[in-house]
Amino acid sequence: MSSSGIIITAILIGISIYDFNILKKSKLKITKCVSSALITLVFNLVLLGIGALIGSAIFGSNNDYWIIISLILISGISYFRFKGREISKGKIKTEKSKKKNYLQKNNKLKQLKLLQVLVFLL
């Protein structure tokens, strides 16, 4: 196995183990910890493929720059995934944004303005 394969494997397994340890320290059931770690591993494998496609499209297939792009993509998304998770009473919850209500009001205003412009043009 080349050095790039060892680096990718170590990073993916390391992130999954980190996810398992965070959940285990929060006193969740082992099955939830393992399932979340496996979901993290599969999700990161998909991100690895996406990063490989992006890196190969930009830099060509003759180099290993795709590894750098994949690692940045995996670490960034995993960071925000771990940061946005809230654990309480044995359940994993994701933080919900309060911006949703504002965005719905803003979207309705835009639709109303568009409707007014269309009525004016007719």
Burial classification of residue 44, based on how many CB atoms lie within 10 Å of its CB (0-12 exposed, 13-18 middle, 19 or more buried): buried
Please determine, for residue 91, whether its predicted confidence score (pLDDT) is greater than 70.
no
Query: CB–CB of 51/66 below 8 Å?
Result: yes
Taking CA 48 as the corner, what is the angle to CA 43 and CA 53, rounded to the nearest 5 degrees?
Answer: 130
Residue pLDDT, tens place only, 35-63: 988 998 999 999 888 888 888 888 887 88
Domain ranges of the chain: 3-89
Query: 3-class DSSP state for residue 86?
Result: strand
Which has the higher per-residue pLDDT, 90 or 3?
A: 3
Amino acid at 109: L
